[in-house]
Amino acid sequence: MNNGDGVGLQFFKVIQVFLIIFVPVCIGMLIRHKAPNFADKLQSPTKIFAIVFLIAIVCGAVFQERANIVSYFAQVGLATAVFCIASLSIGYFVPRWAGVNSFQTRACAFEIGIHNSALSLTIALTIMASTTIAMPAAVYSIFMYLFAAIFGTLLNKFHPIDTATTS
């Protein structure tokens, strides 16, 4: 937004974001509570669907803005890279310092990082209906998968999970 316009906070947009997050979480919790075996069976397909869906959204947004993608990386690349590293690090080390076991701290780190990309893309593309606004989120998503792979590899190398205790 070069002309100084801002994006105002609109009540109904806030409700939409809330529902986009809240409704699926409630459905998942309800299924987990009422039918835990069914929820276990859905876990793997849901993960695959989520990854494919996120990749498709990123690719679609990048494709629509392909003429400007290099300038977007130049404008927001460093900030999104720092944010990726900070998200992964805070998501891992803060719970670890609080005494949470290694298995759960890894889950926290990756959930925070990947959730940020999915949520920001969803808000930009559905609520704000703008691929231009989605570009920082798309750049973040691209970096997040790269940094998450590196982060996971480093954790496995220097602090492997003890599968017997998951601590």
Q: Tokens standing for 62?
A: 């990048």
Element (H, E) at 137: helix 131-158
* Residues listed for the chain: 167
Cα–Cα distance between 41 and 31 in angstroms, integer?
A: 11
Cα–Cα distance between 28 and 23 in angstroms, integer?
A: 9
Give yes or no for residue 1 having a pLDDT over 60. Answer: no
Give yes or no for residue 167 having a pLDDT over 70. Answer: no
Cα–Cα distance between 43 and 28 in angstroms, integer?
A: 10
What confidence category does residue 129 fall into, taking pLDDT thresholds of 50, 70 and 90?
Answer: confident
| Contact predicate 116/144, CB 8 Å | yes
What confidence category does residue 6 fall into, taking pLDDT thresholds of 50, 70 and 90?
Answer: low
pLDDT score, position 166? 47
Give yes or no for residue 165 having a pLDDT over 60. Answer: no
Cα–Cα distance between 131 and 136 in angstroms, integer?
A: 10
- How large is the average pLDDT for residues 42-49? 85
- C-alpha distances (whole Å) from 102 to each of 43, 87, 116, 159 are 21, 16, 21, 9
Cα–Cα distance between 137 and 113 in angstroms, integer?
A: 11
What confidence category does residue 98 fall into, taking pLDDT thresholds of 50, 70 and 90?
Answer: very high
Give yes or no for residue 38 having a pLDDT over 60. Answer: yes
Q: Tokens standing for 116?
A: 């940020």
- How large is the average pLDDT for residues 152-160? 85
| Contact predicate 87/67, CB 8 Å | no
Of the candidates 157, 135, 162, the residue with the CA atom closest to the CA atom of residue 61: 135
Of the candidates 117, 123, 118, 87, the residue with the CA atom closest to the CA atom of residue 13: 123
| Average pLDDT value over all residues in the chain | 81
Give yes or no for residue 49 having a pLDDT over 90. Answer: no
